[in-house]
Amino acid sequence: MRGYRIQRAPAIRDLLAAGESFSFEFMPPKTEEDERKLWLAIRQLEPLAPTFVSVTYGAGGSTRDRTVRVTGRIAEETTLTPVGHLTAVNHSVAELRQVIGSYAAVGVRNVLALRGDPPGDPNGQWVPHPAGFAYAEELVRLVRASGEFCVGVAAFPEKHPRSPDPDTDAAYFVQKCRAGADFAITQMFFHTDDYLKLRDRVTARGCQVPIIPCVMPITSVRTFERIVVLSGAKYPPELASRIREHADDRAAVRQIGVEYAAGMCERLLAEGVPGLHFCTLNGSRATLEIYQHLGLQDRARSSGSAAPMTA
């Protein structure tokens, strides 16, 4: 495959080397109304000058075209540095090359390479495409061989559900890094000790790839039950109790979620994390509130890691 030369955006590895990273995650829209809300959130968060933003990729490639289109539009029409997601689910190697080429064509040079979950049931049996990949490290090698890309991977504070134990999971993670990963973003979590223990296990194996913790503030009971509970993420019983106690008061639920997330962020920053990655659910209010509570915009400016304000 002919290598792509991408010059528009800075590499995430270079931005991370410059200082703390503060970044946002968006989902590709399913309808025109969803797209309107997405772009409203993007424009409201853009003045915060995040280090980068990422756009997720649906199970089985279900949002492939929308993900590439939205990621490319962010690169073209905003001051933001986008990271495109890519999963191996239901894709042949030829199809994966095509997606990588699509990212290159729209000026995206940063890619998060994920094996992905089985479509329909995240906990179902993993069946690789007969002409595809079985492991994320294979996808990392493909992206790195396809041009001047910076590659990220996933990390699992609670270990991957298919890993037999945390130490084995850390070994798998290090394999992905040695295959060419430049950085990692965790799955969402609610216990900061889980992240810190993961970081210690990885460091003990001689791997220094920066692992960015992903934080998702709970903004509604629906968010909690659909995303947190169904994902299998461990959550503090007292947090769940407080949220359900105020189920009829949306403002109170959002405040509880924001305060808990902000407390996590404070401890993570005190522990020297490379940055914070916020799962926005295509909304801006909760993230803005956390930013204001912690003074993250001024902190990002002082660290010098914010993305350059050029299109």
Residue 277, strand partner residues:
23, 214
Give me the chain's average pLDDT, please.
88
The pLDDT score that the predictor gives to residue 299 is 76
49, burial (CB in 10 Å: exposed 0-12, middle 13-18, buried 19+): middle
155 or 162: which leads in pLDDT: 155
Mean pLDDT throughout 258-276? 96
At 185, phi and psi to the nearest 5?
Answer: -125, 135
Closest CA to 284 of 305, 258, 307: 258
Residue 219, pLDDT > 70, answer: yes
Say how far residue 163 (Cα) sits from the centre of its chain: 20
Position 233 confidence tier, pLDDT thresholds 50, 70, 90: confident
Mean pLDDT throughout 247-253? 93
Q: Which two tokens stand for residue 243?
A: 């949220």
For 220-246, give the DSSP string: SHHHIIIIIIHHT----HHHHHHHHHT
Please confirm, yes or no, whether 77 is among the known catalytic residues: no
Q: Which of 20, 25, 46, 158 is catalytic?
A: 25
Residue 308, pLDDT > 50, answer: no
Half-sphere exposure of 259 (CA within 13 A, CB side): 9
Mean pLDDT throughout 274-289? 93
Position 146 confidence tier, pLDDT thresholds 50, 70, 90: very high
Contact between 150 and 110 (Cβ < 8 Å) = yes
pLDDT tens track for 284-302: 899 999 998 898 877 766 6
pLDDT tens track for 49-63: 999 999 998 655 557
> Ramachandran region of residue 107, left (φ > 0), alpha (ψ -120 to 50) or beta?
left
**Tally of CB atoms within 10 A around 125:** 7
Find tokens 């993570």 and name the residue: 268
The pLDDT score that the predictor gives to residue 129 is 81
**Tally of CB atoms within 10 A around 193:** 11
Q: Which two tokens stand for residue 42?
A: 């993007």
Contact between 189 and 200 (Cβ < 8 Å) = no
Share of the chain above pLDDT 90, in %: 67
Whether pTM exceeds 0.85: yes
